[in-house]
Amino acid sequence: MRPSILYPLFAPLETLSGIGKRYCVLMNNLCGDKVIDLLWHLPSGFIDRRCNVPLSQTLDGKIWTGKVKVIEHAVPKTKKQPYRIAVEDGTDQLILVFFKVFGDSVTKQFPVGAEKIISGKIEIFNGQLQMSHPDYVVDAFKPEQMPLIETVYPLTAGVTNKMLNKQIFQALARVPELPEWQDERYLAQQKWPSFKGALQMVHHPQNFADIEPNAPARQRLAYDELLANQLSLAIVRERLKKQKGRSLANAGKLKEKLLSVLPFALTDAQKRVIAEIESDLFGEYRMSRLLQGDVGSGKTIVALMTMLNAVECGCQAAIMAPTEILAEQHAETISELCDKIGVKTALLTGNVKGKSRKLLLEELAAGNIDILIGTHALFTEDVAFKDLAYVIVDEQHRFGVKQRLNLSQKGNLCDVLVMTATPIPRTLVLTQFGDMEYSKIDELPAGRKPIATTVMPLSKIHNVVEALQRKLNTGTQAYWVCPLVEESEKIDLSAATERYESLRKIFGDAVGLIHGKMKESEKDAIMEKFKQGMLKLLVSTTVIEVGVNVPNATIMIVEHAERFGLAQLHQLRGRIKRGFEAGSCILMYGYPLSEVSRSRLNTLKSTEDGFLIAEEDLKLRGGGEVLGTRQSGFSNFRVADLSVHGDLLLTASKDAALILRQDQNLQSPRGQALRTLLYLFEQDEAIKTYNAG
């Protein structure tokens, strides 16, 4: 249960005065529907109204605040003329200009002879000081009502900055004095304020430095959020480590057989990672591990080697891929090797229907299939294993913690390995996969040649087509990827279709087209033709980003490369890293090219190190974009920014581990305060999920 001290912060927004149902909908779209959501909606700037020099000394274009006396009203003769009011402060005169006046509102607000405090932007017109529609007007005897510093927030249509400031002022008044959950010595060392003090400072900045991500108050709140994240994941990891599994220790005869038929030697990195995975598989607790390996680093062989442990113990293993193309590719590689060593494999996708499916499921339930390869179809209700002990999920780095837990429920105390070729920065591994152990293949097989990456403007497209023609005549194959237009799949499709039509005029039937709107079976048919060499050039949207294996395709052309993220471009380039021929990648950009885009393309040109690229992408675009999590249901941080607060995350990770070592059940005074922190950042759900699991 959430502690009662937090109830005022988790109350609905309607409980604040001045918020009706319509406004609530707007606010929900902007930041959320609870009082706490307002507090996490951080300012983007502020307006300084502290300039109160005499009018005679004020400057054009500056915000001025001061006490004035109303002298006279100049009522316009026609509706097209503005309403003017002359005021003065004893040193100079100022004309207040109103382009819209409702009834007698201005005469009531500015009676002649009255004294007012006003604030707004000064303009000089025909040598005369004037101010159009003052931002604030208060009575001279109520100076406390004038906001000398007005915080500026990101807004949405229908919500004004003035309204938002009023609501946040009310929300801040509801923040209780909470027990301190941070280590007192660390707080003093960092010179950070209390939680309540930090919120006040962030929402009431005194200068521009106060709203920077590295300001003490902002750092304090970011660290609170990161510690809540790391602590909840550490609790989950501890719970998982204690979930009884079963040991898959064995004599290793099947692995020896496989090594004898492999046409290549394993890299040192593959050997190291296999040993790390096996240390979990052979232990008594269930494995939950993430395996990262760049494109072409040999993850499939690592998967097979480790699955043979389950098979030799008389159990079953399963490997799940996100698409039918990828599942078929895995099946091709794995079944060819397994046939040689007497291990039975099968492929299950949506295409397997009727009698074939029925027969396959009977064989699976009887235990006659050792390794099942497939798509999400593996985890539909009618798929029953005799004894599933090990599950591998490929390229599903977008799976959340709950889904990862559900996968293992199919079997009997299943070990789970999640594999990805998307290089993920260390900070994102900690925040998104902190519930898992972590392995990394950081070496490519011997003999892989580097890819030559060229960056050029779209205006040189005819040169690219001419060079492509020469290359295709030598028997090589190529990809041509069309731009991504996030707002519209139709535009994506038309861009790809137009390029396909124009290239068909040059290359004829050797060109194929593949895009996201096609049925799975249509995509598979085109990909099969491309793999067989019947098509020489494949025009595509980004559907070929993940995993497709065509060793003869050594050319990748990306149109409007500036519209793609670094990690995505790296993934695309990886498509031509499958064979042992040197590849060529041409990144074509359109004008104007922003500094971020230029930096992105230059990074791609200078390195093939996926992990270096991922770190750079994090700096340029932020964590949600790198993992594609804007649409995937991962919660993005409200306060912390991993491109700025990465060091704080590493500290939080160590702090969380230390906390659980010293106070595993969070029973000490600090432990009790940390429980409040977890509820404050809504990390309670993750803990409940794993407690139940």
Enumerate residues 6+ apart whose C-beta is below 8 A from 591.
Answer: 457
CATH class of the region 50-146: mainly beta
- 410 phi, psi to nearest 5 deg: -65, -30
Retrieve residue 291's tokens.
């395996």
DSSP strand pairing (45-48 vs 63-74): unpaired
- 475 phi, psi to nearest 5 deg: 100, -5
Query: Taking Cα atoms as reference points, which of 580, 592, 588 lies closest to residue 604?
Result: 588
Model pLDDT, residue 158: 86
Retrieve residue 83's tokens.
């309403």
Query: Taking Cα atoms as reference points, which of 433, 437, 380 lies closest to residue 410?
Result: 380
Question: In sequence order, which ranges of 458-519 are alpha helices (DSSP H)?
Answer: 461-472, 489-507
Give the Cα separation of 399 and 393 in Å (integer).
9
C-alpha torsion sign, points 458, 463, 469, 471: negative
Lowest mean pLDDT among 210-219, 519-528, 667-676: 519-528
Beta bridge partners of 540: 481, 514
For every residue of 88-145, which 3-state class applies, written as one string? ECCCCEEEEEECCCCCCHHHHHCCCCCEEEEEEECEEECCEEEEECCCEEEECCCHHH
Read off the pLDDT of each residue in 128-136 and give the average, rounded to a whole number: 95
Q: What is the DSSP letter of 468?
A: H
pLDDT at 623 over 90: no
3-state secondary structure of 507: helix
Model pLDDT, residue 628: 46
Q: What is the DSSP letter of 635?
A: P
Range(s) within the chain of domains with CATH label 3.40.50.300: 253-441, 452-607
How many CB atoms are closer than 10 A to CB 249? 14
* Residue 334 zone, left/alpha/beta (φ > 0; ψ -120 to 50; rest): alpha
CATH class of the region 253-441: alpha beta
pLDDT at 66 over 70: yes
In the chain, count H helices and then E strands.
24, 22
524 or 70, higher pLDDT: 70
pLDDT in tens, 93-123: 999 999 988 888 999 999 999 999 999 999 9
Read off the pLDDT of each residue in 477-506 and give the average, rounded to a whole number: 76
| Helices 669-680 and 216-241, axial angle in degrees (round to 10) | 100
pLDDT at 470 over 80: yes
pLDDT at 485 over 70: no
Give the Cα separation of 171 and 175 in Å (integer).
7
Q: Find out whether 117 and 65 touch, Cβ atoms under 8 Å.
A: yes
**How far from the centroid of its chain's Cα atoms is residue 521's Cα?**
30
- 607 phi, psi to nearest 5 deg: -150, 155
> What type of residue sits at position 675?
R
End-to-end Cα, the chain, rounded Å: 18
Give the Cα separation of 93 and 130 in Å (integer).
9
pLDDT at 246 over 70: yes
pLDDT at 382 over 90: no
Query: Taking Cα atoms as reference points, which of 460, 500, 507 lies closest to residue 481?
Result: 500
* Summary mean pLDDT of the chain: 87
* Residue 358 zone, left/alpha/beta (φ > 0; ψ -120 to 50; rest): alpha
Model pLDDT, residue 693: 43
**What does the DSSP assignment read for 565-608?**
-HHHHHHHHHTT-SSSSPPEEEEEE-SSPPHHHHHHHHHHHH--
Give the Cα separation of 467 and 576 in Å (integer).
17
Mean pLDDT comparison of 305-309, 393-397, 583-587, highest-scoring range = 305-309
Give the Cα separation of 532 and 488 in Å (integer).
32
pLDDT at 545 over 80: no
pLDDT in tens, 333-380: 999 999 999 999 999 988 888 999 999 999 999 999 999 999 887 877
pLDDT at 402 over 70: no
CATH class of the region 452-607: alpha beta
Retrieve residue 438's tokens.
């972590």
Give the Cα separation of 13 and 19 in Å (integer).
7
Asked if the bond preceding 179 is cis, omega within 30° of 0, the reply is no
Q: Find out whether 404 and 418 touch, Cβ atoms under 8 Å.
A: yes
* Residue 447 zone, left/alpha/beta (φ > 0; ψ -120 to 50; rest): left
Give the Cα separation of 306 and 185 in Å (integer).
46
- 66 phi, psi to nearest 5 deg: -170, 170
Q: 3-state SS of the chain: helix, strand, coil percent to 5?
A: 45, 20, 35
DSSP strand pairing (63-74 vs 115-121): antiparallel
622 or 193, higher pLDDT: 193
pLDDT at 242 over 90: no
Read off the pLDDT band of 633 (50, 70, 90): very low
pLDDT at 645 over 80: yes
Q: Find out whether 569 and 561 touch, Cβ atoms under 8 Å.
A: yes
pLDDT at 460 over 60: yes
Give the Cα separation of 128 and 374 in Å (integer).
77
Q: What is the DSSP letter of 313?
A: T
Asked if the bond preceding 483 is cis, omega within 30° of 0, the reply is no
Q: How many residues does the chain have?
A: 693
**Percent of the chain residues past pLDDT 70, beyond the cut:** 91
Read off the pLDDT band of 410 (50, 70, 90): low
Model pLDDT, residue 18: 84
> What type of residue sits at position 44?
S
Beta bridge partners of 440: 292
Retrieve residue 153's tokens.
């927030």
Give the Cα separation of 231 and 238 in Å (integer).
10
pLDDT at 648 over 60: yes
Give the Cα separation of 388 and 406 in Å (integer).
14
Model pLDDT, residue 685: 61
Give the Cα separation of 463 and 524 in Å (integer).
31
User: 500-507: which pairs have CB atoms within 8 A and are 24 or more residues apart?
Assistant: 500/539, 503/465, 503/537, 503/539, 506/465, 506/469, 507/469, 507/472, 507/536, 507/537
pLDDT at 516 over 80: no
Look at the block and give the residue holding tokens 């794995």. Answer: 334
